[in-house]
Amino acid sequence: MPRPFATKSGSYYLNVKVKKALRDTARGRLLTLPIGDAHATVTVTDKVFVSLRTKDPETAKTRFRLAAHALDQYFDALAKGPQPLTRTQRTALVGDIYREAVRDLETDDSFLDAIEATTTEFDANVAHHLGTAPTDETLDGIPARPADEKTAELLAAIDLYDPKALAAWSLKYETDPAKRAVALEQLYGRLVDSEIARKQILVDETSRGKTLEVMDQAADAFGEMATRRLTSLDFSDLFGAGLPAWNAPTPATPGPVAAPRGVLTMEKLFATWKAEHATSRSPSTFRRYGFSIEALISFWGQRDVRLMTPDDVLAFARERQKTIPAATINKNDLVAVSSVLGWATTPLAGRLLASNPAYKIRLPEDKKTVTREKRFRDSEIAAILLAARQARFNARMPRASASRRWAPWICAYTGCRIQETCWVTKDDIYRDGEIWMINFPKTKIDIARRVPLHPALIEEGLLDFHAKAPSGYLFCGDVPQKPGATRTQQEQRASELSEWIREQVTLDPSLSPNHGWRHTFITRAEDAGIVKRKSNAITGHNTAKDASDGYYAPSAAELKKIIECYPRYDLELKPDATEPLESDVVRASDTRDHTD
């Protein structure tokens, strides 16, 4: 069984021999493996030897498992030979390079400074060779000599003493395909090869050449974006927003090495669980569980899950605790693991497991001090609703901008969850007799709920917006859902709204910008004398104390009486002396574009 190799100094390494059948193919190739939170690129010889960058044996084991898994994928790709990439895959591969460069731009001021310095120097050189520089200036003591733009840019590139500047000039002006190919290779060859190595794939030469061409387009877009940030503080990035996510070619990356026949791996068990719950669980559940189960697979490997004990599950949780808080592990990882393993003990699963090794496994959590109530205070209510009222309309993203304008107001006067508003279509706002209703077709408990429109929403202009809105979803769908996306547009819009509200209003970090409305509505409804059963009919809370609570289904007229008892928000209120004054500050409306 491969394991970390320790040197005399106590440092751990991955030291794995390449299979004989693959050595001739692998020798001399670049290979990039994940090591902790980073990646390491090595040149393959007859073996792969790379530092795990730790002297801790437990950390070494974890890093070794992840790196060895990636190495297995690479060996499988070698065995199958170079694979072609589709146009989408080529663009997605370049997209990962582009996004990393954008992250560097956002986090490393020296990167932006270097771009600005190079651009300034190049523009000055061009102006000099065009003869348009100030007459009293010379470059290195040489007077300006007029030239055409093409020649001026060539001379300016030579003045930079950078071969890449000359390659960039060739791509702009050269028409000879052979010379352009040389320039593409010089500019982007190593960058693309490093990304291919990081993905543990082999790419045929045709696909690689076309990827270099896409890289040139991305470089132009990146330069334009960086220039906007330098000159106008414009942080928009339409090119980056439209790049697809990477999906590896299936022939080249078949996944983990298959376990011996008859072994029930965690991977097989989770696949079976997903198939059995395909119609009874939501995609978001599969996504959330998937992160936790993948972590367990990395920890447990290809061993039979029937060998897993409570001590093993606890060891997994302890390993996760090195980077994740105990409360998060209890709430996410252990819930997902226990759910899947617990199902495997049932007759419906064929009693694949005799017992659930994750049952009652829980890490001790640090005591959490509650610093304030979860509802919004009057000043925060006014700040959020005023910010929503001032939200700018965006003709390119009308639904996204409409969600900022109306979702907080709908939550404020219905107590609904933020995602419930994002599922609302134009047809879900309708008139029942003389009563205007809003229907929430998709809820957390999968029971649709309708609520009369509060008079304040009508006066605010919601019906006018509704009359002019196009058909379909009111607050999401400006762009099509990306193929293979793991989050619905509604989930993405809810997250975007949360970020936007925090950008507009200063809120306590412990306060939810979206869910705070639910706490606020229920508290104010109680203060207004609305009984809990009637309040629950509006908010959709399932807190039945006896069977009759589940039978309560008020008519539209009765619901209207309930909603009209809910007090309006006073947006003119000043913050109480006990409330933080900064919570009432509304910042300038955000002008950036957010896509679905």
Residues sharing a CB contact under 8 Å with residue 262, sequence separation 6 or more, in sequence order: none
Residue 425: DSSP 8-state? B
**184 and 206 assigned to the same domain:** yes
Give the model's pLDDT for residue 312: 92
- Higher model confidence: residue 45 or residue 256? 45
CATH number of the domain encompassing residue 336 = 1.10.150
Tell whether the model's pLDDT for residue 546 goes beyond 80: no
The full length of the chain comes to 596
CATH number of the domain encompassing residue 567 = 1.10.443
Q: Is 512 exposed, middle or buried (0-12, 13-18, 19+ CB in 10 A)?
A: middle
Q: Is 40 helix (H, G, I), strand (E, B) or coil?
A: strand
What is the per-residue pLDDT across 433-481, written as a single tens digit (0 to 9) for each? 999 999 999 888 778 899 999 999 999 999 999 999 999 999 999 888 8
Q: Provide the CA 269 distance to its chain's centre, in angstroms.
A: 27
What is the per-residue pLDDT across 43-58, written as a single tens digit (0 to 9) for each? 888 888 989 989 988 8
| Number of compact structural domains in the chain | 4
Give the model's pLDDT for residue 423: 93
**54 and 92 assigned to the same domain:** no
- Asked if residue 272 is part of any domain, the answer here is yes
Looking at the DSSP bridge assignments, the partners of residue 451 are: 438
- 8 A C-beta contact, residue 455 and residue 579: no
For residue 592, name the pLDDT band (cuts at 50, 70, 90).
Answer: very low
Give the model's pLDDT for residue 154: 62
**465 and 563 assigned to the same domain:** yes
Claim: this prediction has a pTM higher than 0.85: no
**427 and 451 assigned to the same domain:** yes
Average pLDDT over residues 69-86: 82
Residue in the structure block whose two tokens are 């060859």: 189
Average pLDDT over residues 344-363: 90
Give the model's pLDDT for residue 192: 84
What is the per-residue pLDDT across 561-579, written as a single tens digit (0 to 9) for each? 999 999 999 887 555 544 4
| Cβ atoms < 10 Å from Cβ of 310 | 14
- Asked if residue 329 is part of any domain, the answer here is yes
CA distance 321 to 204: 42
Residue range(s) defining the domain that contains residue 522: 378-584
Average pLDDT over residues 392-403: 92
**202 and 334 assigned to the same domain:** no
CA distance 2 to 116: 49
- Asked if residue 187 is part of any domain, the answer here is yes
**422 and 568 assigned to the same domain:** yes
Q: Which one of 53, 80, 107 terminates a domain?
A: 80
- Asked if residue 201 is part of any domain, the answer here is yes
Residue in the structure block whose two tokens are 């990882």: 333
- 8 A C-beta contact, residue 451 and residue 547: no
- Asked if residue 360 is part of any domain, the answer here is no
Quote the crossing angle between the two packed helices 334-343 and 310-320, to the nearest 10°.
Answer: 150
